[in-house]
Structure 1
Amino acid sequence: MILRLERCCFVSLLGLLIWLPIPLGSNRVWAWTIGEIWIALTAFALGFVFLVLRKREYFQRLKTFYWLLIPFALFQFWVFCQIVPLPTYVLAGISPVAASAYERVGAAWGYISLDPAATYIALIKGVAYLFFIVCAALLIHTKKRLKMVMLIIVISGTLQALYASFNVLWGIESSWIFHLPETDVATGSFVYKNHLANYLLLCLSMGIGLIVIDLSTSAARPVSWQAWINQTLQLLVSKKMLVRLSLIIMVIALVMTRSRMGNSALFISTFVVGIIALVFYKHRPPRLTWLLASLFVVDIILLGSFFGVEKVQERLAQTHLTSDTRHLVVEWSLPMIKDFLFTGSGLGSFYMIFPGYTQHAIGFYDHAHNEYVQFTAEVGLPATLLLGFSLLWAMMLTISVIRHRQSRTCKGAALGSLIAMVAMLLHISVDFNLQAPANTVTFLTILVVIGASHTIITPIQNRKVAHV
């Protein structure tokens, strides 16, 4: 009964990954509230399993994720500190700019955050993310589950890509459920095209990882033409071909988003990680190089030429500083970072604080279109570096898995996750993709996949332990 409840928690985790992108990327209060409740119920059920079984291995699993759990928990603690009321004379020693803002309105007490309500909402969301990480770390503990999580992410991305592509190709004027206006730019069930592009990047990366898992490490042997035809027919109806078709569909939708950095990130991340794989991949599959090459030639160049990559190129060529004001947001946010360098202005407060730093009218910006700048402005440099430590550690783990582990599943998962990380780090330099809960939860899942690929015990390791 208890083990069945544990399996139900894993199914709930998979269902959440598919659900979150559907209601506008869960980037609305009601939508992310549903997600928070979903996570809370799953965590409660898993906690019950944890208390009943009291297995030591549960503690061991969580301990192996110290590089992710500890920095993330400390980050949430700091966000909590941002909404702790303090006397203004105490606050003046911690954040002089925040203290002066509260003193100007005659308040005797104040907060590090200049928008405590928004910071409180961000804290609740962050705690939900923390519980999600704990649940995922406890539930993804076998190679079968690792592949299942990756497959579910690919399925979700394929569904989004199909929906987005059909809306554009059929000329749908408004979305089917929420009746939002649709144009010739793919957005899927998201509101913002770059959120869809970023989500597809993450899903594409997991798809690449799945294909790498299925690549044979043995060299191809010459066969007769009858055997070659038989192998080709088997390949056409295999799971690998279905995943490959999913990648093609997602690339088509990615090009249709007309996202400049989204498409560029796919090029760059695949190229960079491809080089890393060629250098560090132990017992590299002979077809790995051909797989990476095909992503450029077939998916990006050939398919893109039919589905609008030239329009993306036009957008890249026609981008001028005078017509795109996002660089001004970053430039004008630098004094904001200087004023709140160590404490931040409060997580979620950017939209309220930034208008005080604008120099002329450029329209309303509720985000900085640069997550590095926005996080530093809202939570301060130390807290931002704390999260950066987790990402850096995760990248080191992926290279370690690719280089040292013998499991094809773990190595493929690590390679796909590394592509996702590089793509995300590139894309958030010009957009606010982590503000969409669907993207954030999917990215956190990929970080957990990295940890699982590093710690999951394989049959070979079990035999070694038994021998000792």
Structure 2
Amino acid sequence: MNHIEKLAFYTFLALIIWLPIPLGSNRDWAWAIAELWIALQSLMLIAAYKGSLPFRVLSSYKVVLLGLLVFQFWVLLQTIPLPLTWIATVSEQTAYIYDLVGAQTGYLSLDSRTTQISLFKGLSYLLFFINAAFLVNSSHRLRSVVLAVVISGTLQAFYGAVSVLLNVQESLVFGFPEKDISTGSFVYKNHLANYLMMTLCLGLGLIIAQLHISPSGSWHIRIRRVVEGMLSPKMLVRLCLIIMVIALVMTRSRMGNIAFFAATTVGGLIALVFYKKKPRALIILVGSVIAIDTIVVGALFGLEKVKQRLVETSLGAESRDQVVVWSMDIIRDFPITGTGMGSFYTVFPMYSKSDIGFYDHAHNDYVQFLVEAGIPATLLLGCVVLYSLFLCFNTIRTRQSKTMKGLALGSMMTIIGMLVHISVDFNLQPMANAMTFILVLFVANATAVLPATGRILKDSSTTQLTNKKVFSND
């Protein structure tokens, strides 16, 4: 493979680590950097293949790509000016609102400017997935991508935990006030908790992918494997997971911790029941994560405070649940078209029935997508996620490769954790979290289609394998 393509892959790994650093890429200047980064990657790929990209590769990911493409096409329609009579055929309420101000034309979005911003971000997500499909073309590169995610999570966890332990009063670069809660380079603690949940689950999958599946035999072989394990890179990954668990507990995020525990528990049970040729150490690993990491480490670094927050949680004291209830009225008025991506903060004040403060997000991504994109488009994205979840399950159940099965299990746990966490927060709004989740969906699909061993060679028209043992025990 030529040097430009390799350089593009290295920039892809660097982007994974960079995304959470500038405030979770949740500022206009920060996501603009990421968008330019992805665009330059695409240009590098075009240069590497001299304009003849191997588009056959994309057919392996057609379900996810088609879902993302159709969704972005819908967001594009939300930004196009249309006659009010056309708008009225799909959303009478939207046409009525534009008619109130005497407009001759209108948009399906009630805030077309923010929808345009969301469109560019969404196109970057789509392009990011396409770049991943071209660049991550072997099991070795797939492991490298997951390792980059683990490294990124470890850096965030170390910075966040050390800031709390050293009682840092404000962030080093941007001067944001710091409390006794770990936020890493994010502004909002739940966004860090969500990011760590994803990196932890993928890290677990990476460790499981390296477990021995053959019988250990004599005590001599068992002792040798234990020593080799202690000196192997997977022990470093295990230490990274411990650091991330410490930081996750120190975020004091209630649902962030619950989502991680739920993901590891459900994923562990699925693996124990359906894992084909499961490693003997799998039970010990899953048990240690749930018991040692959460009980021992949590007792030392603040799990009791998380528990206290759960006990003290009161629906009467929380206003976020009221936001969800009132948002149902928006969904009722705009069920098909939505109000436009990114428009929640503009529309919600019209439906707020009391002074509960400013809410720019619904603190529930299911509700926010239904409000902004409408029911059909949201269901489309839901089908993409569920399809990826099914592929993970099928890979665990049918494939021989321990690498692919391990990474599929990590992706499955990540998706389960995300489905839990977004029910109470807006974790798909920061670009760092959203793009990392897009990467998880890619890994989930890649584990089902990539060869277990052998390097993929690409030319202008075809993709060939140097090793025909596609489903071997690598």
Give TM class, smaller chain: over 0.9
Q: Partners of 1:162 and 1:261 in 2: how far apart?
A: 21
Displacement of 1:95 after TM fit? 1.3
Contact kept? 2:4, 2:47, Cα under 8 Å: no
1:201 aligns to what?
197
- In structure 1, the partner of 2:148 is 152
Q: How far is 1:464 from its partner?
A: 5.8
Contact between 2:138 and 2:453, CA under 8 Å: does it hold in 1? no
The match for 2:402 is 408
The alignment status of 1:167 with 2:166, answered yes or no, reads: no
Aligned mates of 2:468, 2:16 — CA distance in 1: 34
Question: In structure 1, how many angstroms separate the alpha carbons of the residues matched to 2:413 and 2:2?
Answer: 34
In the alignment, residue 307 of structure 1 is paired with which amino acid? F
**Pairing partner for 1:309 from 294, 303, 307:** 303
Matched position secondary structure for 2:418? helix
Distance in 1 between residues matched to 2:80 and 2:219, nearest whole Å: 71
Matching residue of 1:38: 37
Cross-structure match for 1:15: 14
Which consecutive residues of structure 1, in runs of 5 or more, have no partner in the other structure?
none
**Count of paired positions:** 460
Q: Give the SS at the match of 1:449.
A: helix
Match of 1:183 in 2: 179
The one-character-per-residue Cα deviations of 1:131-156 (angstroms, maximum 9, x if unpaired) are: 10000011111010010001010000
Distance in 2 between residues matched to 1:349 and 1:459, nearest whole Å: 46
User: Which residue does the alignment assign to 2:48?
Assistant: 49
CA deviations 1:177-236 (Å, max 9, x no partner) are 111000001000000000000000110011101110110001222324xx7665544333
User: 2:219 aligned with 1:219, yes or no?
Assistant: no
Taking the aligned partners of 1:175 and 1:389, their CA distance within structure 2 comes to 40
The whole-number CA distance in structure 1 between the counterparts of 2:129 and 2:9 is 13
Q: Quick check: 2:340–2:373 contact (8 Å CA) kept in 1?
A: yes
Tell me by how many angstroms 1:418 deviates.
0.4
How far 1:67 sits from its partner (Å)? 1.1
For residues 279 and 202 of structure 1, the distance between their equivalents in structure 2, rounded to whole angstroms, comes to 23
Name the CA distance, whole Å, in 2 between partners of 1:51 and 1:390.
Answer: 32
Query: Using the alignment, how far apart are the partners of 1:59 and 1:417 within structure 2?
Result: 25
Cα distance per residue 1:161-187 (max 9 Å; x no partner): 000000000000000011100000100
* Of 80, 85, 100, the match for 2:81: 85
| 1:385 and 2:382 matched | no
Alignment partner, residue 255 of structure 2? 261
Counterpart amino acid of residue 196 in structure 2: L
Distance 1:233 1:145 in 2: 27
Q: Give the structure 1 partner of residue 415 of structure 2.
A: 421
Is 2:298 aligned against 1:335?
Answer: no
Q: How far apart are 1:457 and its partner, in Å?
A: 1.8
- Residue-by-residue CA offset, 1:242-279 (whole Å, 9 max, x unaligned): 00000000000000000000000111111111111112
Q: Relative to structure 1, is the Cα distance of residues 422 and 228 closer, same or farther in structure 2, using a 3 angstrom cutoff?
A: closer
8 A Cα contact 2:109 2:341, kept in partner: yes
Which piece of structure 1 moves more, 213-222 or 334-343? 213-222
Question: What is aligned with 1:113?
Answer: 109
Between the aligned partners of 2:323 and 2:290, the Cα distance in structure 1 is 33
- The one-letter code sitting in structure 1 at the alignment partner of 2:380 is L
Alignment partner, residue 76 of structure 1? 72
Q: Percent identity?
A: 50
Instruction: Write out aligned runs for 1:348-359 (5 A).
Output: 348-359=342-353
Alpha carbons 2:154, 2:244 under 8 Å: kept: yes
When normalised by structure 2's length, the TM-score is 0.95
Q: Could you tell which deviates more after superposition, 327-336 or 230-239?
A: 230-239
Judging by fraction of residues, say which structure has more helix.
Answer: 1
Q: Secondary structure at the match of 2:217?
A: coil
Output the aligned Cα RMSD: 1.6
CA contact (8 A) 2:114 2:343 kept: yes
User: Please, which moves more after superposition, 69-78 or 229-238?
Assistant: 229-238
Whole-angstrom CA distance in 2 between matches of 1:429 and 1:111 = 29
Matching residue's letter, 2:352: T
Question: Could you state the TM-score of these two structures normalised by the residue count of structure 1?
Answer: 0.96
Question: Whole-Å Cα distance in 2 between the matches of residues 216 and 407 of structure 1?
Answer: 12
1:125 paired residue number: 121
| Partner Cα separation in structure 2 for residue 401 and residue 243 of structure 1 | 23
1:320 equivalent to 2:311? Answer no
Tell me by how many angstroms 1:459 deviates.
4.2
